[in-house]
C-alpha cells in the first residue's frame, strides 16, 4: 500500500521539475524558515549537530558537494584526481574565492582546516583523517592528500558539514573555542552571517562577492526559532514561514500542512545522511543477549504500521544492516516481516521467563514517543514484559553511554558508504563506554570485524562488494540491533520557493540556488 502523502510527493516532484524548467530564476526576496532546536553556535567544524549544519551550511563550504545519487560535484575544489593505487588525491581549487571578510581562499586554508582544525576539534573528520598520511599544499590552489592505504569512501568525506573549510588567517594560533570570530562566523558560502537574536531569529544576508556568477538569488534567509511544534505549524500555515525543514514539525502535522494550497513537499535532500533508525539491543546481558530473543523482537514489531501511521508512509522498512542508500546492499536477504506467531515460537524455544525488559525511547519528539509506545504494545502482545523508561536527552545519552538499557531507539547517519556509517555499529573495537554512537549494543564477532576491516581498504569496489555480502548475511542472522526504518524526512515549502533541494544534503546548502517566484 502506498500512503497518500507518498503519492503526493512523487506527483509534486514531477510538477516541480516541469515548472523549474519553465521559468528563469528571479533575483531578490527573503525566505523565512525554521531552525529547531536553536543551534549552540554556528562555527561548522567546531560544532556538527544538525541545527548548526542546516544554518551554517549556507555560510561555510567544503571542497565537494554530492548529487542526490551521491556523485561528487565541485564546490571549492574545481576538479580532482585520484591516483591508480587509490592512495593519492589531488584537489584543484577555485581561484576566485574570497572569505566573507575579503581575504582570498587558498590551499593553506585547506591544509589548516584539515590538518590542524579538524584534527583537534572534529571527531567525524578525525575518523577519516586516521587514514591520511599527509596533506600538502603544492601551490596556492592545489592540495594533495596522501593516504596510508586505499580507503574506499574517501571521496565521500568532503561535504561541507563534515569537512568544513575554516579561515586560517582568523583561527591559526588561537584558542579555537574561544576565538572572537565564533560569534560572527566567516565562511566562503553564498550567505553571510548578519544577526542572531537568541531565542528568536538568526539572519543571513546575501554574499554579493560569491564566486558563482549570479548566485545566490535571494537577498537573505531568516531562520526563526520557535520552540513549540504546534506554533511552528501555525507559523507555516499563516504564511510567516516559507520553508519547514524536515523534523521541524511533528509527523502528524505533515499530511494536513501538505494538503494546503501552494505547498510542495519533497523527500529528497537526505541521501548523504540516510538516517537509519535502529533499536539498540543489549547483547551483553538479560534476554536481549539471546539471538532468538532479538529475532523475536524483529518479528514482533509491526514496522509497516509504524511507517504508515507514524511516518506518513514515507521511508522504507529495511532489510538488514545495510540501508537502501548504502552502497553494496544485498537485497536477496529474507525480510523479517511482521509475524507475532514466529516471535512467540522463538520466545518459547529460548524459554523466556517473562523477565522485565526496559525500552528507552528517543527523546526527540512525539513521533518517537508514539513509536516506542507502539513497539512496547507489539512486544507485549507476543508476551514480552516491557516497561518504558522515559528520559530526556541527557538521560538517554547517559544510559546508552553506560550501557544501562535493554532496548533503545536511535537513528544513525549512513554517510553513503558502509565504512563511514555502518561498520562503526558492529566493529568490536568500537565498543567503548561513554558514547551513544559506537558499538553500543556490545556485539562481538571476529569474522565480522575481519570482513569490515578488509572491505574498508580493499580496492577496487568489486572486491569490497563480496566482503560486504558475507557481512550482511552474518548480521542478518545475528540481529545485533533491531532495524526499524530508513527514515523518510519530508521538507515542506511554498511552491513559489524554487530550486530548493538539489543536492544530497538538501537544505543544508539549499538556499544557494533557491529563488522566489513571486
Partner 1 sequence: MSFFARFAQNRGALVGLIILLMIIAMAILAPLLFPESPWRMVQRPFLPPLSQDGFPLGTDTMGRNVAAGLMHGAWVSLLIGLVSTSVALLIGVPLGAIAGYYGGLIDDILMRFTEFFQTIPNFALAIVLVAIMQPSVTSIVLAIALVSWPPVARLVRAEFMSLRNREYVEAARLVGQTNTTIILRQILPNTLSPIIVLASLMVATAILLESSLSFLGLGDPNVMSWGYMIGAARTVIRQAWWLSFFPGVAILLTVLALNLVGEGLDDALNPKLSRER
Partner 2 sequence: MLYARLIIMRLFKAVIVLFLIVILNFLLIQLAPGDPAAILAGEAGAADQEFLNQLRERFGLDQPMYVQLWRYVSGIAMLDFGYSYRLGVPVFDLIMARLPATLLLTGTAFLISLVLGIIAGSMAAARVKKPSGSIIMALALVFYATPLFWVALMSVLVFSVYLDWLPAYGFYTVGAGYTGFALVLDVAKHLILPATTLALFFMAIYTRMTRTSMLDAAQQDYVKTARAKGLKPGIIQRRHVLRNALLPIITLAGLQAGQMVGGAILTETVFAWPGIGRLMFEALQQRDYNLLLGIFFFSAALVIVFNIITDLVYRLADPRIKGAS
Give the footprint of partner 2 on this chain (CB under 8 A): 30, 32, 37-38, 40-41, 47-50, 121, 123-124, 126-127, 177, 182-183, 197-201, 222, 224-228, 230-231, 234-235, 237-238, 240, 391-399, 401, 412-413, 432, 434-437
Q: Which residues of 434-461 are buried (b: 16+ CB within 10 A; e: fewer)?
A: eebbbbbbbbbbeebbebbeebbbbeee
Closer CB to partner 1, 387 or 433, in the complex:
387
Tell me the closest approach of the beta carbon of residue 238 to partner 1, in angstroms: 12
CA–CA separation, 480 vs 473, rounded Å? Answer: 12
Identify what 390 binds: partner 2, partner 1, none; CB under 5 to 8 Å per kind.
Answer: partner 1
Residues 292-351 close enough to bind partner 1 by CB under 8 A: 305, 309-310
* DSSP letter (8 states) at residue 206: E
CA–CA separation, 68 vs 54, rounded Å? Answer: 17
Tell me the closest approach of the beta carbon of residue 464 to partner 1, in angstroms: 41
CA–CA separation, 458 vs 150, rounded Å? Answer: 7
Determine whether 169 is exposed, middle or buried from the number of CB atoms within 10 Å of its CB (0-12, 13-18, 19+): middle
Closer CB to partner 1, 378 or 425, in the complex:
378
Total of residues contacting partner 1 (CB under 8 A)? 31
Closer CB to partner 2, 80 or 415, in the complex:
415
Which candidate, 154, 135, 138, places its Cα nearest to that of 146? 135
274: left (phi over 0), alpha (psi -120 to 50) or beta: left
Answer yes or no whether residue 377 interacts with partner 1 by CB under 8 A. yes
Tell me the closest approach of the beta carbon of residue 148 to partner 2, in angstroms: 19
What cell does 30 get? Answer: 527573503
**Do 177 and 111 contact (CB within 8 A), yes or no?**
no
- Cis preceding linkage at 477, omega within 30: no
Closer CB to partner 1, 201 or 263, in the complex:
263
CA–CA separation, 91 vs 437, rounded Å? Answer: 31
Tell me the closest approach of the beta carbon of residue 480 to partner 2, in angstroms: 19
Closer CB to partner 2, 87 or 224, in the complex:
224
Answer yes or no whether residue 374 interacts with partner 1 by CB under 8 A. yes
Identify what 4 binds: partner 1, partner 2, none; CB under 5 to 8 Å per kind.
Answer: none
What cell does 392 get? Answer: 530526556
**Do 97 and 214 contact (CB within 8 A), yes or no?**
no
* Side-chain half-sphere CA neighbours of 322 within 13 A: 24
What cell does 45 get? Answer: 567544524
SS3 147: strand
Answer yes or no whether residue 499 interacts with partner 1 by CB under 8 A. no
Closer CB to partner 1, 376 or 425, in the complex:
376
- What spatial distance separates the first Cα and last Cα of the chain, rounded to whole Å? 37
Q: Which stretch binds partner 1 (CB under 8 A): 288-296, 389-397, 429-437, 458-466?
A: 389-397
Compute φ and ψ for 115, nearest 5 degrees.
-85, -30
Rounding to the nearest 10 degrees, give the CA dihedral for residues 347, 352, 358, 359. 0
Residue of 211, 252, 338, 413 that binds partner 1 (CB under 8 A): 252
Q: Which stretch binds partner 1 (CB under 8 A): 207-215, 380-388, 472-480, 485-493?
A: 380-388
Closer CB to partner 2, 219 or 304, in the complex:
219
Residue of 177, 387, 433, 518 that binds partner 1 (CB under 8 A): 387
Answer yes or no whether residue 260 interacts with partner 1 by CB under 8 A. no
CA–CA separation, 365 vs 252, rounded Å? Answer: 11
**Do 411 and 362 contact (CB within 8 A), yes or no?**
yes
CA–CA separation, 149 vs 157, rounded Å? Answer: 16
**Do 41 and 28 contact (CB within 8 A), yes or no?**
no
Closer CB to partner 2, 341 or 402, in the complex:
402
Closer CB to partner 1, 260 or 432, in the complex:
260
Closer CB to partner 2, 35 or 479, in the complex:
35
CA–CA separation, 366 vs 356, rounded Å? Answer: 25
Closer CB to partner 1, 14 or 260, in the complex:
260
Q: Which stretch binds partner 1 (CB under 8 A): 375-383, 409-417, 432-440, 457-465?
A: 375-383
Residue of 25, 229, 335, 442 that binds partner 1 (CB under 8 A): 229
Say which residues have a Cβ less than 8 Å from residue 345's Cβ, sequence separation at least 6. Answer: none
Identify what 90 binds: partner 1, partner 2, none; CB under 5 to 8 Å per kind.
Answer: none
Residues 124-163 close enough to bind partner 1 by CB under 8 A: none
Answer yes or no whether residue 230 interacts with partner 1 by CB under 8 A. yes
Tell me the closest approach of the beta carbon of residue 366 to partner 1, in angstroms: 5
User: For the chain, how big is the Rg over CA atoms in Å?
Assistant: 23
What cell does 446 get? Answer: 571476529
Tell me the closest approach of the beta carbon of residue 297 to partner 1, in angstroms: 18
Q: Which residues of 82-98 are buried (b: 16+ CB within 10 A; e: fewer)?
A: eeeebbebbbbbbeebe
Closer CB to partner 1, 219 or 250, in the complex:
250
What cell does 231 get? Answer: 506554533
Answer yes or no whether residue 250 interacts with partner 1 by CB under 8 A. yes
Tell me the closest approach of the beta carbon of residue 387 to partner 1, in angstroms: 6
Answer yes or no whether residue 247 interacts with partner 1 by CB under 8 A. no
Residues 344-373 close enough to bind partner 1 by CB under 8 A: 361, 363, 366, 369-370, 372-373
| Contacting residues toward partner 1, per CB under 8 A | 229-230, 233, 250, 252-253, 255-256, 305, 309-310, 361, 363, 366, 369-370, 372-374, 376-377, 380-381, 387-392, 394-395
Amino acid at each position: 500500500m502506498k500512503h497518500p502523502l507518498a503519492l503526493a510527493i512523487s506527483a509534486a516532484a514531477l510538477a516541480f521539475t516541469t515548472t523549474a524548467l519553465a521559468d528563469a530564476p528571479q533575483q531578490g526576496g527573503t525566505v523565512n524558515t525554521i531552525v529547531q532546536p536553536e543551534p549552540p553556535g554556528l562555527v561548522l567544524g567546531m560544532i556538527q549537530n544538525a541545527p548548526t549544519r542546516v544554518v551554517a551550511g549556507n555560510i561555510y563550504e567544503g571542497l565537494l558537494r554530492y548529487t542526490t545519487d551521491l556523485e561528487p560535484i565541485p564546490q571549492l575544489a574545481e576538479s580532482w584526481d585520484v591516483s591508480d593505487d587509490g592512495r593519492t588525491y589531488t584537489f584543484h581549487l577555485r581561484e576566485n574565492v574570497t572569505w566573507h571578510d575579503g581575504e582570498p581562499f587558498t590551499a593553506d586554508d585547506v591544509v589548516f582546516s584539515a590538518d590542524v582544525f579538524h584534527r583537534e576539534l572534529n571527531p567525524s573528520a578525525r575518523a577519516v583523517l586516521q587514514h591520511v598520511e599527509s596533506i600538502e599544499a603544492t601551490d596556492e590552489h592545489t592540495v594533495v592528500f596522501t593516504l596510508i592505504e586505499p580507503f574506499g569512501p574517501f571521496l565521500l568525506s568532503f561535504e561541507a558539514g563534515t569537512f568544513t573549510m575554516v579561515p586560517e588567517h582568523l583561527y591559526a594560533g588561537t584558542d579555537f573555542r574561544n576565538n572572537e570570530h565564533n560569534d560572527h562566523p566567516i565562511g566562503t558560502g553564498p550567505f553571510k552571517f548578519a544577526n542572531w537574536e537568541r531565542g528568536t531569529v538568526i539572519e543571513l544576508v546575501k554574499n554579493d562577492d560569491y564566486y558563482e556568477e549570479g548566485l545566490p538569488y535571494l537577498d537573505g534567509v531568516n531562520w526563526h526559532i520557535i520552540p513549540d511544534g504546534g506554533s511552528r505549524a501555525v507559523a507555516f500555515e499563516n504564511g510567516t514561514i516559507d520553508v519547514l525543514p524536515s523534523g521541524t514539525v511533528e509527523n502528524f502535522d505533515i499530511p494536513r500542512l501538505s494538503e494546503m494550497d501552494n505547498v510542495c513537499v519533497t523527500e529528497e535532500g537526505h541521501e548523504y545522511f540516510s538516517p537509519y533508525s535502529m533499536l539498540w539491543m543489549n547483547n551483553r546481558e538479560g534476554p536481549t543477549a539471546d539471538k532468538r530473543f532479538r529475532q523475536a523482537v524483529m518479528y514482533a514489531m509491526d514496522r509497516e504500521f509504524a511507517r504508515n501511521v507514524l511516518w506518513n508512509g514515507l521511508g522504507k522498512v529495511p532489510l538488514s544492516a545495510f540501508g537502501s542508500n548504502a552502497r553494496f546492499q544485498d537485497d536477496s536477504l529474507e525480510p523479517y516481516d511482521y509475524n507475532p506467531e514466529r516471535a512467540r515460537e522463538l520466545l518459547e524455544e529460548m524459554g523466556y521467563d517473562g523477565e522485565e525488559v526496559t525500552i528507552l525511547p528517543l527523546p526527540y519528539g512525539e513521533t518517537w514517543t508514539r513509536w516506542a509506545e507502539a513497539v512496547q504494545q507489539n512486544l507485549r502482545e507476543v508476551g514480552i514484559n516491557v516497561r518504558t523508561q522515559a528520559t530526556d536527552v541527557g538521560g538517554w545519552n547517559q544510559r546508552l553511554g553506560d550501557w544501562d538499557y535493554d532496548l533503545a531507539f536511535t537513528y544513525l547517519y549512513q554517510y553513503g558508504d558502509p565504512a563511514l556509517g555502518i561498520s562503526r555499529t558492529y566493529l568490536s573495537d568500537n565498543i567503548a563506554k561513554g558514547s551513544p554512537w559506537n558499538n553500543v549494543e556490545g556485539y562481538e564477532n571476529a569474522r565480522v570485524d575481519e570482513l569490515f576491516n578488509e572491505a574498508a581498504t580493499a580496492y577496487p569496489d568489486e572486491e569490497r562488494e563480496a566482503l560486504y555480502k558475507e557481512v550482511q548475511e552474518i548480521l542478518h542472522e545475528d540481529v545485533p540491533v533491531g532495524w526499524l526504518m530508513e527514515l523518510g524526512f519530508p521538507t515542506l515549502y511554498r511552491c513559489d520557493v524554487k530550486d530548493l533541494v538539489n543536492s544530497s544534503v538538501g537544505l543544508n546548502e539549499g538556499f544557494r540556488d533557491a529563488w522566489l517566484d513571486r
